[in-house]
Chain A
Amino acid sequence: MGVFVFLPLVLPLTAWPVARLAEQHLHPRTATRLLTAVTAVMAVCSTVCLALLMVVGTAQLPGNPLPDGWSDPEVREAVPYDEVAGRAAIPALVLVLAACARTLWRHGRVRRRAHRALAGVRGKRVAVLPDDVPYAYALPGGRRQDRVVVTTALLEHLEPAERRALFAHERAHLAARHHRLLLVAQLAARANPFLRPLRTAVAYTAERWADEDAAQTIGSRRTVASAIGKAALVSRGTPIPTLAGLAAVGPVPRRVAALLAPAPTARRWPPVFTSVGLAAWGAAAGAAVSAMSSANSAVTMVLILRAATPL
């Protein structure tokens, strides 16, 4: 197994250019699903890899609770004996698990609190709140009803057609259960920091997906574009934290520009010898290599440990 056990930890780096290409060229629906799947596979592999390193590292420590056979010379020979990596893997794995647990807990808490806040508000599917801060979002139901939350301040700034675009966008989020994909991407980013750009990419493509669905529902790409543009301009009080000099074009203008361009084709899997095809196949290959090397490491490890465990 050798250095292959470290591969899943750094393979997410190969997905960065792939994510960029996918979000620009694939249909948003395909891109979101592909990127979420790739992100999830890479995160699981990277965590398995950390766990393996931890087992090896722990078996070398004096006074560990693992069977004595696991630190036999034969095992040390078969497993790349790297004390530093092994010991570093222990706190790293603890950190990953704690961060994921915290993310899950906060996700549940925000949803519960938001539903509790809306408990007495009339309107089953849409909750209009009298507030002078303009915002709107989709609140997934879980055991309760899905709801679209929007403030009067935002509605006041939109034409009737643009309001329909806003509601169609939020309903598209809820209908396609985007919150699950976003949660997966977020957990993955906690498991391996190299996956953070993929989380950002998934968040962007999910918005694009809802934009395209909304455009189809109301039958006008331009109306969705102007709804997004106006909503962003009236709620610009909270700028995204970026370094001014390095500021790339933010997600909102890119979404508006994409809607003013022709609709993307819904072709599911592009041919290999185009930049889009290379991106899609590259992502799939990276995820497959990552999964295989993790699986290879895990199986080898289990076999060695079983052989070394006195029964």
Chain B
Amino acid sequence: MGEEQQRPRRRRGQGQLEAMVLSALREADGPATAGWVQRRLGGDLAYTTVVTILTRLLAKGAVTRERAGRSFAWTPAADQAGLAARKMRKVLDAQSDREAVLASFVTGLGPDDERLLRELLRQAEDEGED
């Protein structure tokens, strides 16, 4: 009886730990190491515990990791798209003639193009209504 009561309590404990680690990770500005998360949580948890929890979160798909030197840098999965957007902007900004590499949907507009384009679109709308 006593054992059966303890088990759910331990599980809840794990869930709380996971939530703590995840929220600490969300406060990071970009990917963070397990050591950073441990310091962020005030050092209550052992380093190995933090790594174990992060690994469990990884299995659940709540975080992702990438290799950074000898250890891993961890990122909350929800923030993955935002992080990718920032990385992609860096790639695109570094490439001055990116049109040559990536076929983008539209190229820039010349001085008279905007006026011409608005005229064309208005014409198209008028014809569509006829």
Contact = CB atoms under 8 A, between A and B. Distances in A.
Given A222-B124, A256-B121, A206 B114 contact: no
Given A120-B64, A240-B110, A256-B117, A131 B85 contact: yes
Contact of B120 (A110, A131, A173, A256): A256
Interface string A190-226: 0000000000000100110010000000000010011
Contacts of B116: 249, 253
A250 interface: yes
Contacts of B110: 239-240, 242, 247-250
B107 interface: yes
A113 B91 contact: yes
Contacts of B100: 103, 107, 182, 186, 203
A19 B96 CA distance: 25
Contacts of B106: 228, 231-232, 235, 252
B52 to A, nearest CB: 22
Interface residues of A, number: 66
Category for how many chain B residues contact A: 35 or more
A210 B109 contact: no
Contact of A229 (B75, B84, B121): B121
Interface in A44-101: none
Interface stretch (A6-14, A136-144, A276-284): A136-144
A268 interface: no
Nearest to B66: A119
A114 B85 contact: no
A203 B77 contact: no
- Secondary structure dominating the interface of A: helix
A283 B121 CA distance: 34
Contacts of A149: 88
A121 interface: yes
Centre residue among B64, B75, B100, B127 by max chain A CB count within 10 A:
B100
B78 to A, nearest CB: 11
Given A110-B98, A253-B116, A240 B107 contact: yes
B29 interface: no
Contact of B102 (A118, A139, A222, A226): A139
A191 B99 CA distance: 19
A151 interface: yes
A258 to B, nearest CB: 10
A179 B103 contact: yes
B91 A114 contact: yes
Interface in B80-101: 80-85, 87-92, 95, 98-101
B101 A110 contact: yes
Contact of B82 (A130, A182, A225, A242): A130
A275 to B, nearest CB: 25
A111 B98 CA distance: 10
A229 B102 contact: no
B113 A249 contact: yes
A260 B116 CA distance: 13
A222 B128 contact: yes
A236 interface: yes
Complex A-B, nearest 5 residue pairs according to Cβ-Cβ distance, in ascending order: A117-B87, A129-B85, A120-B80, A240-B108, A250-B110
Interface of A: 103, 106-107, 110-111, 113-114, 116-122, 127-131, 133, 135-139, 149, 151, 154, 166, 169-170, 173, 178-179, 182, 186, 203, 206-207, 210, 222, 225-226, 228-233, 235-236, 238-240, 242, 244, 247-253, 256-257, 260
9 contacts: A113-B91, A206-B103, A225-B121, A232-B113, A233-B114, A240-B110, A244-B111, A250-B113, A256-B117
